[in-house]
Copies of this chain bind each other. A is one copy, B any other.
Amino acid sequence: MSCVEATPARSRNAAATRAAILKAACGRFSREGYDGASLRDLASDAGVDPALICRYFGSKEDLFAEALKNCASPPDLFGGDPKSFPERVAQMLVVEPKPEGKLEHLLMVLRSAASTKAAEIIRRNNRETFYGPLEEWLGAPDAAVRARAVAGIIMGFAVARAIDDDAMLQDGERQQLCRKVADLLRTAIG
């Protein structure tokens, strides 16, 4: 009774609660990985009782799978102008200040891949929502090989940045690296 409500009272709306949990899950999983993100912290982010998570999603693994489907993907990554694809992606991977939002899906994969529980879910999801669309978008001959090459580069520079967290290059060097990554992507596609 005397307990103060910190959150502005989301009045018993199941859909909104589910959405809040899912959003918090995307954030936590992409920042801390599957093992590092506890259901309790996650629930606290969403302003929700931990027990509710299991009620709504069944288990942590199920929640992870759901979050993987619903979280932010790099918008229009494979969509926009194919001509500017290398520059766009290189820009996002190397120079963009806070790419975590756009890279949520990718970071979630990279930071959770070590976990046995999450690995299989990730593999399945990767084929359906990463390699699949990428191959289709690349089309032409050797789609599988070129898709793997592009994916390797994207993951590599994403993980490099996730590990080092920006603290290494000066601005000029960053621009150089960006051009080089664009070159690499062109090589991979071509």
Contacts and interface: CB of A to CB of B under 8 A. Distances in A.
B162 A113 contact: yes
Interface string A100-116: 00000000011111111
Given A33-B114, A111-B113, A114-B36, A145 B169 contact: yes
Given A148-B169, A180-B145, A116 B164 contact: no
A159 B155 contact: yes
Interface string A55-93: 000000000000000000000000000000000000000
Given A33-B114, A35-B114, A148 B168 contact: yes
28 contacts: A32-B116, A35-B36, A35-B115, A109-B163, A110-B159, A111-B113, A122-B163, A123-B165, A123-B167, A126-B163, A142-B173, A142-B176, A144-B173, A145-B177, A148-B168, A148-B177, A149-B184, A153-B153, A154-B156, A155-B159, A155-B160, A156-B156, A156-B159, A159-B159, A180-B187, A183-B187, A184-B187, A184-B188
Given A123-B165, A155-B156, 8 more contacts: A109-B163, A110-B113, A110-B114, A126-B163, A142-B176, A145-B169, A151-B156, A184-B184
Interface of A: 32-33, 35-36, 109-116, 119, 122-123, 126-127, 131, 142, 144-146, 148-149, 151-157, 159-160, 162-165, 167-169, 173, 176-177, 180-181, 183-184, 187-188
